Structure 1
């Protein structure tokens, strides 16, 4: 049977006092229960009487406390003995020690949508994706106008997104005068940004699939509607080529030139046109790697292109670029600053092309990207084989090329209408 008695420790604690507590022994193996009480001197303890001497200012309180604790331990020993189970002195002490208060853990913090979005934007900026950073920042700003910045992912339910869609469709396009509502494609692009953040949160393990509001039955399905793609006709492109500009309109002349370069190089994107280098022209051909997908290729140099290039030849052009639009940049290594400047120049060229179209009395949009549409439209009219166009566009899939060209395929439909109603 275990035994218990009150003792004082023979060594001082860190405060210079002697701890006082209870020693429990079972089969010669001890265990101790100390609960923070101590004596300034061992002389204050009466070992035979198992009590604190009267010289201690709180001798009665300490003696009563220790006697009560000793009685609890003896009761616990008797309980163990009555149960006829094997036990140790440590078991007795642990049974008497006060149990720590169990504090309920705080519920996990729900991830804020904005935290994930901010990380995403920072990542895009570090990658140099200026266009993505700019356009998605604008979309997220509109989202926070509706939802607030403290919204969490579980709050973005199907019903919430339906209400947000109505908010977008009845909202004003801030880039246009008057109350012009957002287009369906613009609304879709706003939803895509939210889905992107949701997918990133899922991948990071911040949320599960149960609250995912996109796709499937009774959820938000994102559909990409076809946008109207109209290029310039052969006649309109001829007018553009032949247009003459005064010395005061040199800015229009240069914008027209780069637009024609984009058109005649198989609908080259404006970013690639602005980054054209003289070293890209070798052995009578033009070699470049498409910035969008990294696909290399080469094209013949039409005489009209050669004539335009002659205007820009210099001994040491800035960064060896054909066009001077990026010459103010210190270097071309900072992708973010390059994209920022390209974005600004693209807007300027777009304004210039709008002015040119007004002068030519052509009621069409001739933004830099419309050069690509114009090439595709002419290719469709000339019935160029899709495999040839796939190589020119540098599409990985022929289906991509055929889908793109279908936007400009109207001949058969026109012939069908004529056959049916033309009598």
Structure 2
């Protein structure tokens, strides 16, 4: 016998602190959840009754709607079980939902709330902006999954490429987001697979080859010996060089380095992207940079670089926002330095990683590069480093044309 109950889904919390209200359908100790599209603060929810408290400004209206939903779902579950045999909770849930009851943007709200819960603040911010652009293109705030078809997606892709003039890789990011939310809806909401617009013969996501160009040895040496820089520009160069000297450590990790991360002439830190523990020897060139900032050191737990000082490091969201601003400012200053030094390539924090790959080329065994890059798979390292390994193809070209 299937049971239906109204519950608050605490797994997903919106930015305003509210949680989604859902119908929980349980059979044979397995549960599925159907979201009602309503959200409420935890303090306004009566967990025992499964209804809104009187403290909620619209408790009567909300409770009437919830009671109606649970009655309809319970009646339908009884009807399904009495007419057919061996119905699983997934089948019952799917039949209760019916065709096309869920809205893409309603599901996306839960998806974004889940990113916030996992403290993926930058990702949540970027994905929310992309969804706003998708809404603007549609000219409406509702979209059924039935309407989300191949034709619509191809038109949206064309709009991104030819009207907004985004890069092909950026357009792919939009399609990936839509696919991710659709897959989330298939799992959590049991959206019918028959309308799924991705896959063979439909929308296939293929990543265009991206151009990865790093500085060469001479250009890095220009940065190392640069003079007549402002203090802000010098600090930007020092952060860039620190990233480069540690095989392209990501900027968010560099500016969060503490003096306590350095022990016995080694750097020990946990990567922000995948939480891996990393240990690297401190090159002599890095020691000179550390010596420059050591005068500002207040204690072993103090930050090496000054950019996040005064920021509550326990406030993950605030730190993520601050890191984004700092990175943008560093990139602006690096561009000015690049122009001063006559470096024609685009100079940014991320280019430090590409520069390490460019200079290492095919001089270092791929297994060692995998360790230096902190890649989980050697395939990732091979694909990444292939952008910078040119000797064999260059030699082959020279043999043919030099006659």
**Partner SS for 1:222:** coil
How far residue 109 of structure 1 moved from its aligned partner, in angstroms, is 6.3
Point out the more displaced range, 308-317 or 391-400. 308-317
In 2: Cα distance, 1:106 partner to 1:269 partner: 45
Partner of 2:226: 243
**8 Å Cα contact 2:259-2:304 kept in structure 1:** yes
- 1:223 pairs with 2:206: yes
- 1:262 pairs with 2:243: yes
Gaps of 5+ in 2: 1-95
**8 Å Cα contact 1:319-1:327 kept in structure 2:** no
In 2: Cα distance, 1:251 partner to 1:191 partner: 39
How far residue 126 of structure 1 moved from its aligned partner, in angstroms, is 3.0
Structure 2 counterpart of 1:141, from 132, 139, 161: 132
Instruction: Count how many residue pairs are aligned between Structure 1 and Structure 2.
Output: 306
**Partner SS for 1:298:** strand
In 1: Cα distance, 2:243 partner to 2:368 partner: 18
List, as ranges, runs of 4+ consecutive aligned residues in structure 1 with deviation greater than 4 Å.
105-109
How far residue 166 of structure 1 moved from its aligned partner, in angstroms, is 1.2
**8 Å Cα contact 1:259-1:368 kept in structure 2:** yes
**8 Å Cα contact 1:127-1:335 kept in structure 2:** no
**Partner SS for 1:414:** helix
Distance 1:135 1:111, change over 3 A: same
How far residue 206 of structure 1 moved from its aligned partner, in angstroms, is 3.6
Structure 2 counterpart of 1:195, from 169, 179, 196: 179
In 1: Cα distance, 2:225 partner to 2:400 partner: 39
**8 Å Cα contact 1:129-1:335 kept in structure 2:** no
Point out the more displaced range, 342-351 or 313-322. 313-322
**8 Å Cα contact 2:100-2:191 kept in structure 1:** no
**Partner SS for 1:215:** coil
**Partner SS for 2:280:** strand
In 2: Cα distance, 1:318 partner to 1:258 partner: 19
Which structure is larger by alpha-carbon Rg, 1 or 2? 1
Q: Deviations over 1:7-58 (max 9, x none)?
A: xxxxxxxxxxxxxxxxxxxxxxxxxxxxxxxxxxxxxxxxxxxxxxxxxxxx
Partner of 2:326: 345
How far residue 219 of structure 1 moved from its aligned partner, in angstroms, is 0.8
- 1:288 pairs with 2:257: no
Gaps of 5+ in 1: 1-104, 173-180
How far residue 106 of structure 1 moved from its aligned partner, in angstroms, is 11
**Partner SS for 1:357:** helix
Distance 1:258 1:315, change over 3 A: closer
Distance 1:123 1:195, change over 3 A: same
In 2: Cα distance, 1:258 partner to 1:109 partner: 51
Point out the more displaced range, 137-146 or 269-278. 137-146
How far residue 315 of structure 1 moved from its aligned partner, in angstroms, is 4.2
In 2: Cα distance, 1:318 partner to 1:310 partner: 14
Partner of 2:101: 110
In 1: Cα distance, 2:300 partner to 2:103 partner: 46
**Aligned counterparts, 1:316-355, within 5 A:** 316=298, 320-330=302-312, 332-355=313-336
In 1: Cα distance, 2:283 partner to 2:98 partner: 68
How far residue 274 of structure 1 moved from its aligned partner, in angstroms, is 0.9
Partner of 1:126: 117
Partner of 1:153: 145
- 1:419 pairs with 2:399: yes
**Partner SS for 2:136:** helix
Structure 1 counterpart of 2:369, from 389, 400, 408: 389
Partner of 1:17: none
How far residue 319 of structure 1 moved from its aligned partner, in angstroms, is 5.3
Structure 1 counterpart of 2:353, from 362, 372, 381: 372
Partner of 1:207: 191
In 1: Cα distance, 2:319 partner to 2:115 partner: 14
Distance 1:415 1:108, change over 3 A: closer
Q: Alpha carbon RMSD of aligned pairs, Å?
A: 1.8
**TM-score normalised to the size of structure 1?**
0.70
Distance 1:328 1:108, change over 3 A: same
Point out the more displaced range, 289-298 or 313-322. 313-322
How far residue 127 of structure 1 moved from its aligned partner, in angstroms, is 2.5
